[in-house]
Amino acid sequence: QLQLQESGPELVKPSETLSLTCTVSGDSITNPNYYWNWIRQPPGKGLEWIGNIYHSGVTYYNPSLKGRLMLSVDSSRSQFSLRVTSVTAADTAVYYCARQRGRREFDPWGQGTLVIVSS
């Protein structure tokens, strides 16, 4: 059974870099059918797609966040990672990682991790 688990600091200072890792178990991150995604949800608000990465390293980013994002993948560790630079309070959110079949559905999702941007 495929499982995804987010990990990383819960508190990040404004202007610094937010870094999260998603560990994949139960399936190969090199499966050619899937992309690996980051999605976030600010407290009390809706879902926002951040970006995704293919096992080859090809990436797609949300145009509204492009320039502050970097996604990477480490197939040997079955992990993919997110970096968001120059964070502000607006980046405070629950961050989810999720598998995506091609350009289609997101399933499954990790349990999510709350990241707070505050000094």
Partner 1 sequence: QSVLTQPPSVSAAPGQTVTISCSGRSSNIGNNDVSWYQQIPGTAPKLLIYDNNKRPSGIPDRFSGSKSGTSATLSITGLQTGDEADYYCGTWDNLSGGYGVFGGGTKLTVL
Candidates 8-16, 19-27, 75-83, 94-102: pick the segment binding partner 1 (CB under 8 A): 94-102
For residue 70, count CB atoms less than 10 angstroms from its CB and return exposed for 0-12, middle for 13-18, buried for 19 or more.
Answer: middle
CA distance 81 to 22: 6
Per-residue contact string for residues 38-77; x = within reach of partner 1 by CB under 8 A: -x------xxxx-xx-------xxxx--------------
Q: Which is nearer to partner 1, 16 or 49 (CB)?
A: 49
Residues that bind partner 1 (CB under 8 A): 37, 39, 46-49, 51-52, 60-63, 96, 100-101, 103-112
